[in-house]
């Protein structure tokens, strides 16, 4: 199978065998304009190259699995809308690619793909149920129940980034107020930092960006926290606290075997996790807390590719 993880800044893809091993990993940069035609042709060319490579060494490609951000209709194979690609409305990605390659194509949400990747070959190999949170620019969620992706009645399940964690919180991109994503994503933490700086909070973040507030990103907040910057430490603690509230709710609703956290923000694990754990212990039912593991994803940057291909393997009946 070819696995494709469509991100906002890059298309990452590779070949995945039925054991979940990844070969020929490639990352194709997406130009800033993110024009639909350009992105589609980059995806097509990337897949074509992989298929040709496989044929040249005598391997047979059976299908393509693709994980895309945004609202996906997996049955119809549509990217309904995607925050990363303005102007993408009801793009029939599945049928476009099927026509190009004459192969079955399986399209799913990128967070569902990452969750399935962690279940199939990552941290969740030995469990039946897990919730996977992808913490990056935004927060994506994927739910695995009885070993399968739970997509919900309308393919909309797992929007964990948009759980309300503070009714009085700031406005989120989705239009709601106080979503988890507004606090515990990279974007949310940067928003908190800039808000505090504008209110006059002292921080070394300004010195690290030579006064250019726009240059503050989550990586810089992490670096400042290492240096003991009070504001950065507090922002990461707050991100952890709200994450803990969300995790406690997930545990109480679903009682999963495991919560898996992946994505760039987990690089700051030691700074946000104590606050998250504290909140989980406070809010999740006592009988659940000690029995639900909260772990880092094991597949690092490849969960989406492995999972997209894994879903294709599963849905075509091979695994």
127 sits near Zn ion (criterion: CB under 5 A): no
Question: In this structure, what are the phi and psi dihedrals at residue 95, rounded to the nearest 5 degrees?
Answer: -70, -35
CB of 177 to Zn ion, least distance (A): 8
163 sits near Zn ion (criterion: CB under 5 A): no
Map the footprint of Zn ion across residues 181-220, applying CB under 5 A.
none
Q: Which is nearer to Zn ion, 245 or 308 (CB)?
A: 245
Q: Which is nearer to Zn ion, 100 or 164 (CB)?
A: 164
CB of 179 to Zn ion, least distance (A): 3
172 sits near Zn ion (criterion: CB under 5 A): yes
The region of 120-128, 159-167, 247-255, 256-264 touching Zn ion under the rule CB under 5 A is: 159-167
Q: Which is nearer to Zn ion, 174 or 288 (CB)?
A: 174
164 sits near Zn ion (criterion: CB under 5 A): no
Q: Which is nearer to Zn ion, 26 or 162 (CB)?
A: 162
Q: How many residues bind Zn ion (CB under 5 A)?
A: 5
176 sits near Zn ion (criterion: CB under 5 A): yes
Q: Of 36, 162, 191, 283, which one interacts with Zn ion (CB under 5 A)? A: 162
174 sits near Zn ion (criterion: CB under 5 A): yes
Q: Of 15, 179, 243, 251, which one interacts with Zn ion (CB under 5 A)? A: 179
- Alpha carbon distance 112, 67 (integer Å): 8
Q: Which is nearer to Zn ion, 51 or 172 (CB)?
A: 172
Q: Which residues lie near Zn ion (CB under 5 A)?
A: 162, 172, 174, 176, 179
């Amino acid at each position: 199978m070819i696995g494709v993880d469509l991100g906002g800044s890059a298309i990452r893809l590779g070949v995945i065998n039925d054991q979940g091993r990844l070969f020929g990993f490639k990352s194709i940069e997406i130009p800033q304009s993110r024009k639909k035609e350009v992105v589609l042709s980059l995806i097509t060319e990337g897949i074509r190259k992989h298929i040709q490579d496989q044929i040249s060494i005598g391997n047979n490609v059976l299908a393509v699995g693709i994980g895309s951000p945004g609202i996906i209709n997996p049955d119809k194979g549509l990217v309904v809308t995607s925050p990363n690609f303005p102007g993408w409305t009801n793009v029939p990605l599945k049928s476009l690619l099927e026509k190009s390659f004459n192969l079955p194509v399986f399209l799913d949400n990128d967070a569902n793909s990452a969750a399935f990747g962690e279940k199939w070959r990552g941290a969740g190999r030995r469990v039946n149920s897990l919730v996977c949170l992808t913490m990056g620019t935004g927060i994506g969620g994927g739910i695995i129940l009885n070993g399968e992706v739970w997509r919900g009645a309308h393919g909309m399940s797992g929007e964990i980034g948009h759980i309300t964690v503070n009714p009085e919180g700031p406005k989120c991109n989705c239009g709601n107020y106080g979503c988890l994503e507004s606090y515990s994503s990279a974007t949310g933490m940067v928003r908190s930092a800039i808000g505090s700086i504008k209110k006059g909070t002292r921080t070394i973040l300004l010195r690290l960006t030579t006064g250019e507030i726009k240059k503050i990103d989550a990586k810089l907040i992490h670096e400042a926290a290492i240096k003991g910057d009070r504001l950065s430490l507090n922002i990461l603690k707050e991100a952890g606290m709200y994450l803990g509230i969300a995790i406690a709710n997930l545990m109480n609703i679903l009682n999963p075997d495991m919560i898996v956290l992946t994505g760039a923000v987990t690089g700051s694990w030691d700074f946000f996790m104590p606050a998250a754990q504290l909140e989980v212990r406070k809010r999740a039912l006592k009988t659940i807390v000690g029995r639900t593991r909260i772990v880092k994803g094991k597949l690092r940057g490849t969960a989406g590719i492995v999972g997209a291909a894994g879903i294709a393997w599963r849905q075509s009946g091979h695994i």
